[in-house]
Amino acid sequence: MSATRLPIIGHPLPQTVLEGVLRTALADAGSLIEIERWERRPHQLAEAVAEIRAGDDFAGALIASPHKEKAPPLSDALSDDARVSGAVNVFARVDGRLRGYNSDMDGVRAGLASILPRVKGKWPRNAVVLGAGGGARAVVAVLIGSGFKHVVVLNRHLHRAEALVTHFSRAARHMELRARPWHDAIIEAELSRAELLVNASGIGDTGGESPIPANLLPPDRFVLDLVLNRASTPLMEEARSQGGSAANGQAAFLASTSVTVRLLSGSTPADETLRTALAAELGVPADALAVVGD
């Protein structure tokens, strides 16, 4: 039996750009995989993964919010990135077993590489991360692996940021990793010491709002705003107006999706295929995609 079914599992599960881009890239690779939408509540995740494991017609699954952090224990095996981050966004069937991967980390690496300068072979050392979900876990894992020395995680629900920090306690033993409450005064104080700000909170994905007031961002900062559907965001514009460098989430999305397609089909899609598909989903010309920070 051919493994052609690929559920996207989340709750809620709005229509996303990822589905259309994946369909195009998988078809271009000659894959017969068909994407399905499975809206499942957290208590239904284990049952859904068990169904996928038992069915030889499943190529794997894509794990969306809020399930990424709950998926690793349901894997038969984990990639290094999934293990380190404590989050899975792709299950791929390998020799009859479900292996969990985190292609979000590949995306984060690409996004950071588009804006951060290399100084003696290294990136800056201090960062603030907004958000504490699966995407934020990918960000923090990459920052730890890239030699950052001070990382502060802020979330509107402090206990989630604290859980993230606790997960990384062993990997981050050589550095300072802290959870802080999401208050303007705290954000301002932490940004005064950090060269890099990453917005992984989801704020700005739909409405175009900024996650923080403009006056809190100091000059000359690097900003990675992991928003996909806008070439520029208010947060990016504020950073640039003060002499900083900024990038949106498009480079990260393209890199992550490329890895996802390879994991599921065995073929790496052409960059042009992904760019054209993303542009079509966003309703913009391909050359309008802002994938490299200024």
For helices 250-265 and 271-282, give the axis angle rounded to 10 degrees: 120
155 vs 270: CA distance, rounded Å: 36
DSSP state of 122: B
**70 is an active site residue:** no
C-alpha span between 38 and 57 (Å, rounded): 16
Q: How far apart are CA 123 and CA 196, in angstroms?
A: 10
Asked if 78 and 111 count as a contact pair (C-beta separation under 8 A), the reply is no
What is the Cα Rg of the chain in Å? 19
Encoded tokens for 122:
């290294």
Residue 12 Ramachandran class (φ > 0 left, ψ -120 to 50 alpha, else beta): beta
**What's the distance, Cα to Cα, between the start and end of the chain in Å?**
49
Which is the catalytic residue, given 68, 70, 120, 122? 68
Cis peptide before 12 (omega within 30 of 0): yes
Integer Cα distance of 188 and 193 in angstroms: 9
Which pair of tokens denotes residue 120?
């003696």
Q: Kindly list the catalytic residues.
A: 68
